[in-house]
Structure 1
């Protein structure tokens, strides 16, 4: 799912594949999966046929992400998912209030991540993100 989320940024076909892979996830599943489901819905909403379809899909997707964070506010992967969606959401939708909070949470908790897969996934994202300063990126990359 992490790779599918990352790949979804590459093409509409990959967004569709990511979305389809997350369809069966429900709010009773692992909260990271719920967060990824929300991201898949929000990403798919970009290709909605009408402005209303785009907005409704985006709101539904964000609802899943926020639900998951409400359940597990200390889950770094959920904060990462929300940060990624917020960074790539048009400002007019006003879904950007937690960028700095999520960024700081990730920076503080990064060293405590036990999964190398997750750690590398976040590191790759941080190094290409405009939200992180050069200094923050160098701390994450170990330089």
Structure 2
């Protein structure tokens, strides 16, 4: 019986790792795609406050993208507020997780200024610069590197650390 639980754990673990790999690859593309955003929204429907903070942060980011694509102003506001709340909950739960910091920075960087969700850009930028060398996942390193290289918040000198 114990072996069954161990087997189920590894299936679940590798399934989640594969899902996270796909999420990382698709998330940057969701910024310009209602289809990818809608797909993510469906996939994250079961993610809640008891879920892994990284998934919570991605769900929050997807909700902010839903706000971007929503037609009604009230939906835009509701989706954005809920998304920000989830991202901030994830940061609070795992403040030293570089992936969550990257997600928050990407949302803040792309949020309209009038929404006022920009206060942590410098903090997250410094965190990313300091902790990037310690990232063990090749996929995550590539996603963060691509983000940094395309971000207006990192200068040429800072970008050189990612080349």
The answer to whether the 8 A contact 1:4-1:18 is kept is no
Following TM superposition, the consecutive aligned residue runs of length 4 or more in structure 1 with deviations greater than 3 angstroms are none
Distance in 2, Cα, partners of 1:121 & 1:92: 28
Residue in structure 1 matched with residue 86 of structure 2 by the alignment = 64
Which protein is richer in helix relative to its size? 2
Shift of 1:49: 2.4
Pick one of 110, 127, 135 that aligns with 2:132. Answer: 110
Distance in 2, Cα, partners of 1:16 & 1:37: 11
1:1-143 alignment, distance < 5 Å: 1-141=23-163
Distance in 2, Cα, partners of 1:125 & 1:66: 20
Shift of 1:4: 2.2
The answer to whether the 8 A contact 1:80-1:106 is kept is yes
Calculate the TM-score normalised by the size of structure 1.
0.95
Structure 1: runs of 5+ lacking an equivalent: none
Distance in 1, Cα, partners of 2:64 & 2:36: 14
- 1:92-143 Cα offsets, whole Å, 9 max, x none, are 00000000000000000000111111111100111111111011111111xx
The answer to whether the 8 A contact 1:41-1:57 is kept is yes
Calculate the TM-score normalised by the size of structure 2.
0.83
